[in-house]
Amino acid sequence: MGRYLLRRLAGYLVLVAVAASLTYFLAGLSLNPRARFENHNPPLPEAAVTRTLDDVNMNPDTPVAVRFARWAGDVVHGDLGRTLSGDSLNDDFGRRVGVSTRLLLLATFAGSALGVAVGAYGAIRQYRFFDRFSTLASFFVLAMPVFVVGVALKIGATALNDGTQTIKVLGEYDAQYAGRWDPAALFNRAQHMLLPALTLIIVQVALYSRYQRNTMLDVLGADFLRTARAKGLRRRTALLRHGLRTAVLPVVPLLVYNIVLLFAGATFVEKTFGWHGMGELLVDSVAGQDVNAVAAVGLFTAVLVLAAGLLSDLLYAALDPRVRVR
């Protein structure tokens, strides 16, 4: 079991390293940081621009391999480099990762748990009202891009608010609560958290409930469930302990890929609701031709995949006894 997890970890680490490097090369080759300085008035002297670009290791005239070697050396020592405007990415990064993680963690746990519950319940009561309703609803949600869900919620909340400010639609917290963690500040954060979290949760519930419904339907007719009933378990116990546990297994690995999709989804949510997280950094850095920032985002998503992969391996091992033997 320990060896199995260690081997998976090694595999993920290689994947992270390769993915992050590839992101750097892509960004280094396709973005043009010089463009950021071109429309200055009065025009900046060529030499000054070049020096600034050299300072932050983003001069397009330096071969990309050389830039990459410098960047990789810094990253190994825990330094993510600087943005195009010269600020240290490390300071910014920590704050943004915190913002994104709070949102993603909450939404992932709530969304996947709720999705599994909805899917399993729908399968058990197949073709009853709840099943039909949840199936149709998830079709509609999955047919919408995340930002459409977000903006629709925003419009709805504005109508509900009706001039008051009960549901906050912008930012992570109000200015007067900055840096505070007392109950009032926490409530304020919850007010702000409601809509973005709800957006991500709705999307995930739709997705996971579809998968879970299918796997649960497969399990419902299985012999081992009949055996469990035959040995005297109540229907509820048999379904929960033997049915759900088996049916959840194939859904768990999806967590890994969906965390990447979710991150893209978080990009829309962060832009729509004005949260300053990693998703926002991604959009702004590509638009601002900032190679180092894009590479930092690439590294973050790769690490996110690593964490999700390990989590799903652990969950898998906990749920499926056969993995533990190996």
Partner 1 sequence: MRTAPGGRTPSSRRAPWSRRTPSPGRAPSPRRTASPRRTPWSGRTRTPRSARPPRDQHPSRARLTARRFARNRLAVAGLALLVLLFLAAYAGPLLTPWDHRTHDFLNFLSGPSAEHWWGTTQSGLDLYALTLRGLQKSLVIGILVGVVSTLLSAVVGAFAGYFGGWTDRVLTGAVDLLLVMPAFLVVAVLSPLVRGSGWPVFVVLLAAFSWMITGRVVRSVTLTLKDREYVKAARYMGVPGPVIVFRHILPNMASLLIIDAVIQAGAAVIGESGLSYFGFGVQPPDVSLGTVIADNTNMAASYPWLFFFPAGCLVLIGVSLAFIGDGLRDALDPDSAAAQARAKKRGKRAAMEGRRR
Binding site for partner 1 (CB under 8 A): 15-16, 18-19, 22-23, 26-27, 30-32, 126-127, 139-140, 142-148, 151-152, 154-155, 158, 214, 217-219, 222-224, 246-247, 249-250, 253, 256-257, 260-261, 263-264, 267-268, 271-272, 282-283, 286-287, 289, 294, 297-298, 301-302, 305, 312-313, 316, 320, 322-323
C-alpha count within 13 angstroms, C-beta hemisphere, residue 244: 18
Alpha-carbon span 170 to 261, nearest angstrom: 23
Nearer to partner 1, 51 or 241 (CB): 241
Tokens linked to 301: 């998503």
Whole-angstrom distance, CA of residue 52 vs CA of residue 35: 13
**CB-facing half-sphere around the CA of 168: CA atoms within 13 A:** 15
Rounded to a whole number of angstroms, the minimum distance from the CB of residue 255 to partner 1 is: 10
| Rounded least distance, CB 201 to partner 1, Å | 18
Instruction: Compare residues 157 and 186 and give the one whose CB is closer to partner 1.
Output: 157
> In the complex, what is the shortest distance from the CB of residue 181 to partner 1, in angstroms, rounded to a whole number?
31
Q: Considering the complex, what minimum distance in angstroms separates the CB of residue 319 from partner 1?
A: 10
Sign of the dihedral through C-alpha 281, 95, 56, 37? positive
Choice between 27 and 103, CB closer to partner 1: 27
Residue 186 or residue 217: which is nearer to partner 1 going by CB?
217
Helix, coil or strand: residue 138:
helix
Measured CA distances, 79 to 76, 93, 297 (Å): 7, 11, 14
**Nearest distance from residue 124's CB to partner 1, in Å?**
12
**Structure-block tokens of residue 129:** 């009202």
Among residues 66 and 142, whose Cβ is nearest to partner 1?
A: 142
Give CA–CA dist 315/252, Å, rounded. 7
